[in-house]
Chains A and B, each alone.
Chain A
């Protein structure tokens, strides 16, 4: 078995990396964005496809969790009905800070084609949304790109400060 010589003075200095607290916290947060499984309609199929082997969310550190206590991001995938709206708010409140929301697809963004009495006309009436994905349904690439952009957003944020209140009532 080959033994590798560790020569600190020769190969790039001492084993010390200098950074800021913000950077290391954001590095950790942005690379382990655990998502709450929130499939409400057909967008859920695309969300599942994003998690499966072909698109493979695990590469970004995004693992689907079935509990709001363990999740960082809520991907609202599908039509939100008025009957369900109280539950989505409760699950959002149960998620621990810091937390983010991705609104996936037309129905979650604006109610989409369901211009009816029973559909919430956009999840941003209930919970603050960080990212809106267009499409009906958005392809897995779109969701993947959204997660990458969310990672960028997390890296730009200040980590030790509590999150700015988004539109909380």
Chain B
């Protein structure tokens, strides 16, 4: 089957069409069935802690709980319902909408191949308890969550930045963090290696990929057409018309001293010695 052809002339020049009234489709939330494994899981959980909200999304059980209950909830599901694997955990930035983060734990029951997602909402300055004692895979996931989102984790054995350098400021995966970095990020390597006083010498980063520097014609030259540095562009054109070229010369052309050229003519001996 061939893909239908769409004309691609001048796609770069056109502005992207964005519908201002487009709303991202929500995945349907279905009620939890009265019977089955998920119903038993939910019963076991609600006996131990408060369940704020529970529904089925794309065939998976999603449970919202209070962030203070996260250890209790995961311990119940792990020890009583055999959800023994934490396949993923992280946080989602909702700082602008709700002033906090949604932390989620994706757990898997290896016997029934059923998955549950536990979600809880933490405020920006609120800390969450580490689930590292229950699931060892939470170790690095929580460090990453702290590093990139800035969600504090209590009682983590080694809460250190995982991806960014140790002396980094800010949490880059927050939606408020600029993609090109804040001032600290833009000067990070200069400040660290040369010190702040070198900022004037080195200058700011060039973040504009389409920038054209007039002096590039002086700093760079076509191979074999090099002219003295600082030649103004008018003279450059004149030199080109005159046919001034600086040919690329190789070592071999002039003959390498100490190294003889290969003698193409075979040596013929008149008689055997």
A151 contact from B164, B201, B251, Cβ within 8 A: B251
- Looking at the complex, which of A39-47, A65-73, A83-91 is the stretch in contact with chain B? A83-91
Q: A17-B258, A169-B201 are in contact. Are A86 and B192 (CB under 8 A)?
A: yes
A116 in the interface (beta carbon within 8 A): yes
Q: In the bound complex, what is the Cα–Cα distance between A27 and B252 (angstroms)? A: 12
Q: In the assembled complex, which residues on chain A have CB atoms less than 8 Å from the CB atom of B185?
A: 82, 117-118
Nearest chain A CB to B151's CB is how many angstroms away?
A: 19
Complex interface residues of chain B between 186 and 224 (CB less than 8 A to chain A): 186, 188-190, 192-194, 198, 201-202, 205-207, 209, 223
Contact (A116, B180) CB under 8 Å given A82-B188, A121-B205: yes
CA distance A4 to B209 in the complex (A): 64
Once A116-B179, A117-B181 are accepted as A-B contacts, the answer to whether A86 and B206 lie under 8 Å apart by CB is no
Q: Which residues of A contact B258 (CB under 8 A)?
A: 17, 27
Instruction: Report the separation of the CA atoms of residues A58 and B167 in the bound assembly, to the nearest whole angstrom.
Output: 42
| Cβ-defined partner of A117 (8 Å) among B179, B201, B202, B249 | B179
Tell me the bound Cα distance from A2 to B179 in angstroms.
74
Q: Does B237 contact A (CB under 8 A)?
A: no
Q: State the CA gap A83–B208 with chains docked (Å).
A: 22
One of A23, A85, A110 near B189 (C-beta < 8 A): A85
A30 to B252, CA, bound (A): 13
Could you say which residues of chain B place their CB within 8 Å of the CB of A86?
A: 189, 192-193
Contacting pair A118 B172 (CB below 8 A): yes
Cross-chain contact of A110 among B188, B206, B249, B269 (Cβ < 8 A): B206
Interface: B27 (CB within 8 A): no
Chain B residue nearest to A110 (CB atoms) is B206
Interface contact tally, CB-CB below 8 A: 73
> How far, in whole Å, are A3 and B273 apart by their CA atoms in the complex?
7
* Residues of B150-199 whose CB lies within 8 A of A: 164-165, 172, 177-182, 185-186, 188-190, 192-194, 198
Q: Is the CB of A121 within 8 A of B207?
A: yes
Tally A residues with Cβ within 8 Å of B: 29
Cβ contacts under 8 Å, A151 to chain B: 251
Q: How far is the CA of A43 from the CA of B192 in the complex (A)?
A: 26
Q: Is A94's CB within 8 Å of the partner chain B? A: no
CB proximity to B under 8 Å, residues A1-53? 2-3, 17, 19, 23, 27, 30
Inter-chain CA distance A130–B179, complex, in Å, is 30
Q: Which of A17, A83, A125 contacts B164 (CB 8 A)?
A: A83
Q: How far is the CA of A155 from the CA of B253 in the complex (A)?
A: 14
A126 CA to B107 CA in the complex, in Å?
45
Q: Which residues of B contact A (CB under 8 A)?
A: 164-165, 172, 177-182, 185-186, 188-190, 192-194, 198, 201-202, 205-207, 209, 223, 248-251, 256-258, 269, 273
Residues of A within 8 A of B (CB): 2-3, 17, 19, 23, 27, 30, 82-83, 85-86, 89, 110-111, 115-118, 120-122, 125-126, 148-149, 151-152, 155, 169
Q: Which 8 A-B pairs have the closest CB atoms?
A: A117-B181, A85-B189, A121-B205, A117-B185, A169-B194, A83-B165, A169-B198, A82-B188
